[in-house]
Amino acid sequence: MPYFIFSFLIIFSHAWMVQGQTQLPNANFEQWTVTTAGKAVPTGWHTFSDGDCRLSGLASIGCSTGKKNHSSRVAGHHGYACEITATSILGIVANGAMTTGQMVLASTTPKDTINIIYSDIHNKVGKNGYARFTGRPDSVYMWCKVSVKKSTSIPSCKIHLHGNVAYVDVPKHTPGVPQEGKIANAFCTFAGHNDGLWHQYRFPFVYYDSKGNVTKSRSRQPSYVLASFSTNKVPGAGNSGDKLAFDDIVMIYNKRLSQIYLDGQPMEFFHPDCDRYELHASLGGIPFISAEAASPNATVSVEQAQAENGYTAVITVTHDDGEKTYTLTFTPECNMLLVARP
């Protein structure tokens, strides 16, 4: 049976709501805290100035020197932003870095795997180097500004969603054995825009099963997030003076539909950003409505159109950070038999 759409209202909705623990802490970098080292860092984030320094003897000089390699509050895409800068310590390049976790400085060799960033979920260091998180986002948007000395320097960001474990950013591990608690990650690099201007980036999340295999299933829910920015994706690489600024980080939970079906058939003129439709249908022929979510982690429920609700079907798409609705309002029309008169 044909159904005729005679008008529809397109509403572009970005529903970037912050509910519960579904966004990074202080992701717009408007709140700042002064550490015991007298350095300002964005609240909820950590850098060398409040790192856990385990160097001893003459090597401990690296601790006090490393603490000079801190963040700066700069003018951002909106309001304030965080900027990190690479420095040279005794002739060795120390990447600028910022994390929601805890930094450990245990070696003067940047590439040494005992220098780690991890989620200190039990707060053993006493710096609150962890961030609780329960969302399962589809992607992440952020604004970044890159200013590096050479094009070979590639700033980066890594965001790990993990379980109730002290998750390590770059762990020492046995090949083929996944790190315990690994649920999802987004690896971000900022190449191609070394112009000192703000650019928006989008990176998808990849989800894993308990064996470390990529999966479309998102049944495993994280407990924490470990996000880290660096002026170079390789420890100790790059050049002194390389800078990376970042601002307005938003986890995206896709609450769009990929399709609406009328009696099992794809609806004509459907658009995922159009959430209100008005249709004509014959009286007694209101179709059965079904729909499909674009995100594998979203769920869909449908209230069917009937006389009691004004022949308006309501489709609700629910994700970790909230919900979005689509409405289809039908105008029933009688089928009329036209009789020719003499």
Token readout for 155 is: 């700033």
Residue 25 resides in a domain: no
Residue 166's nearest CA partner among 217, 218, 214, 104 is 104
Q: Which of the listed residues 236, 252, 268 is the one where a domain comes to its end?
A: 252
124 plus 71 within the same structural domain: yes
Of 32-46, 228-242, 281-295, least confident by mean pLDDT is 32-46
Q: Which of the listed residues 203, 235, 252 is the one where a domain comes to its end?
A: 252
Of 172-181, 240-249, 265-274, 327-336, least confident by mean pLDDT is 172-181
49 plus 120 within the same structural domain: yes
Question: How far is residue 196 from each of residues 146, 243, 326, measured CA to CA in Å?
Answer: 5, 9, 41
pLDDT at 75 over 90: no
289 plus 155 within the same structural domain: no
* Rounded distance between C-alpha atoms, residue 303 and residue 297, angstroms: 20
Residue 157 resides in a domain: yes
Name the domain count of the chain.
2
Give me the torsion for CA of 70, 130, 211, 115, rounded to 10°: 40
Model pLDDT for residues 174-200, shown as the tens digit of each residue: 666 778 999 999 999 998 788 889 999
103 plus 233 within the same structural domain: yes
At residue 328, the pLDDT reads 97
- Beta carbons of 228 and 117 less than 8 angstroms apart: yes
- Beta carbons of 230 and 82 less than 8 angstroms apart: no
Residue 321 resides in a domain: yes
Residue 334's nearest CA partner among 289, 262, 285, 287 is 285
At residue 122, the pLDDT reads 94
Domain that holds residue 37: 32-252
Query: Position of tokens 């046995």?
Result: 174
190 plus 127 within the same structural domain: yes
- pLDDT band, residue 3 (cuts 50/70/90): very low
Residue 20 resides in a domain: no
**CATH code: domain of residue 116:** 2.60.120
In the chain, which residue ranges form alpha helices assigned H by DSSP?
61-66
Better-scored residue on pLDDT, 204 or 17: 204
Residue 59 resides in a domain: yes
* Residue 178 DSSP label: P
* Rounded distance between C-alpha atoms, residue 132 and residue 219, angstroms: 18
Residue 340 resides in a domain: no
Mean pLDDT of 159-166: 96
pLDDT at 125 over 80: yes
* Rounded distance between C-alpha atoms, residue 39 and residue 27, angstroms: 19
pLDDT at 224 over 50: yes
Model pLDDT for residues 259-311, shown as the tens digit of each residue: 999 999 999 999 999 999 999 887 678 999 999 999 998 999 999 999 999 99
- pTM above the 0.85 mark? no
Residue 272, CA atoms < 13 Å, CB-side half-sphere: 12
Mean pLDDT of 7-36: 65
At residue 60, the pLDDT reads 55
Better-scored residue on pLDDT, 133 or 108: 133
pLDDT at 43 over 90: yes
* Rounded distance between C-alpha atoms, residue 15 and residue 32, angstroms: 26
38 plus 172 within the same structural domain: yes
309 plus 166 within the same structural domain: no
Residue 21 resides in a domain: no
* Residue 57 DSSP label: G
* Rounded distance between C-alpha atoms, residue 117 and residue 170, angstroms: 7
Q: Which of the listed residues 203, 218, 252 is the one where a domain comes to its end?
A: 252
